[in-house]
Structure 1
Amino acid sequence: MSQCFLRPVRQNDTRRRLLSMKGEQVLCMIEEHFDNLTNYMGGLHPDLASWFDLLLALAKKGLLDDKILYKTEMENDSVHPAVREWLKDNLETLRSSSQTEWTSAEDETLEKLHDVFNKAFFRGALSPARNPLEFIRKNNPDGTPNKKWTSSKAGLSQPDGALPGSRRSVIRIYETSLDSGDRLKYYMNVLLHEMIHSFEINYCCRCHSCNSSLQDFWGQTGHGVGFIKLLKKAQAFAKRTMNIDLHVGLREGLATEIYALQEKQLEIEWPWEELGLSESEMMEAAEWCRKRKASEQIQDSAPGDETLGQ
């Protein structure tokens, strides 16, 4: 175990004491948390029950489409027994609600999703105080284009410089033009992806002895082997205990990492079999990423373009 694990930044520092972990320790801690929630003996763990409470609340407001569910068969063994019991009692309620437009509901719904995901995936470590969430709409309230919005990003997580010296990150989710019925699952995928980045920003040690292993784990772009392993564990946990099938931007993130390595003429041995991914498919995805980056650079340099990439 690293000497940095659970070590305060400084004993005499007035800042809050922080977890300070290596990447592998993050992976172990999250896996242990998933096991605790999955093996809870009293039915649905309260931190998972809040997810299903949110589903019912969204359904009553007409903001839910049951196609976000992974499995609806009551006897499917791939879904947690407590979840199957919940489906027996509530599936018809979810299906009977009609989907309405999200326009005025996205900010509030994203905040609720953040709260639920924080409990279910991150042990409550990404509170709004440590990880504020911003929803960036395409247009301002007066209808003018929002200069903060960009079509080149789905989401962004970065250190928050508002409090110098603090370990705090901010997430920005950019409004999508997808049809209303597809938006919830889209935002769920983007939000969880960015929350994993935020957890790394907030809680991974950056001391001199840990810094080199940090990049080995998280990669050049934050989408290294460790990040992909964490995504895969989160995917499996979500299927089993929340009955949702999330792609979480896995292939896109990995393609970005491979592209960055190629640009720097670096090579690593990817554990493709362990990751459950095809090397040939991911190399094709990296080529797609290269073409997309080239296209974005052309658009960024085009005269009169006032919004892309800002």
Structure 2
Amino acid sequence: MNTKIAISLLIVFIIVFSLMFFLQYIVNDPTSVNEQNHPFYSKKFPENHNLVFIIGTSHVGQLNSTFINEEISSRFSNYEVYNLAHFKDNPQRREPYLDKILEFNPTIVFYGISHREFKQNSESNQNIILNFQNGFSEILSPEKFGFESINPKFNTLQIIRSFLDIPSMSIDDKMYDAYAPFFWYERPQTLISNEESLLRDDALITIDEYKIGDPTHNNQVNVFKNIIQKLQDNNVKVVIFTTPLNHHYLNLIDKNEITTFNMILDEISNEFNVDVYDFTEKYEELSIWMNPTHISYNKNAIIVSQDIANMIIQEIQE
């Protein structure tokens, strides 16, 4: 009986993953960024130029990077700020590109982070189905087939749009920020959601998926530390800041997760002697949100970019 169950589950998993890979081929995911060959890395700067980089995931990408650079360069003419954030970033995805960042010899790197980037998969595998799934996860992992950044949510929405004949944004509909080379903005990213929309957002539904677990055995945390260490070993000043969250998200998140997250940052601050700026709750009640975890790329949300610029100014002056 167990053999039949195992074979049946194997067939199901093969079908599901095959379908997922097929959909990845036919649906273009605009959040997939190939950094390795990006033209930004061939960009040349004057030798006396001081480069400041901001890195992080889409929470960081929603900042107005041109505004931030103008705020800095107007005060320090030999400084320039670039936001190197990209979609779905986390420490493990960022680490392979660290050498490319170091080739620019940046003066300061500001790392924007939230508890979500320290997500650790549950280690509880008591259920036979979960054990079976974990046994094949390595074999059927997207990376094995060359799919490094599958976005099921995006692909599902694209399929629904296709069936309902809802047009998606074309490349001409995208907006770009000259100082955020790995990021772009479609119209939904520029809108401010009302309270009703925020409450319906699936970020609140999936909130329990983001568990840090034991920090001492969390790969994302360990890689995050490795990144900081390598930057400092190359004489790059590192500053950490936490990215904002909306009050609906903060009300639902397990408080132990926030406590663990803050504890991790406190330990890192002490271990590596880095400053940590906390913006997690600062804007939670303001009408600036695209969704519960992202501010809008909108002039009404410029207060966040202004505070980030002020943080950079303060660190330059120290």
Is the shorter-chain TM-score for this pair beyond 0.5, marking a shared fold? no
Structure with more relative contact order (C-alpha pairs < 8 Å, separation 6 or more): 2
> TM class by shorter-chain length?
under 0.3
Q: TM-score, normalised by structure 2?
A: 0.27
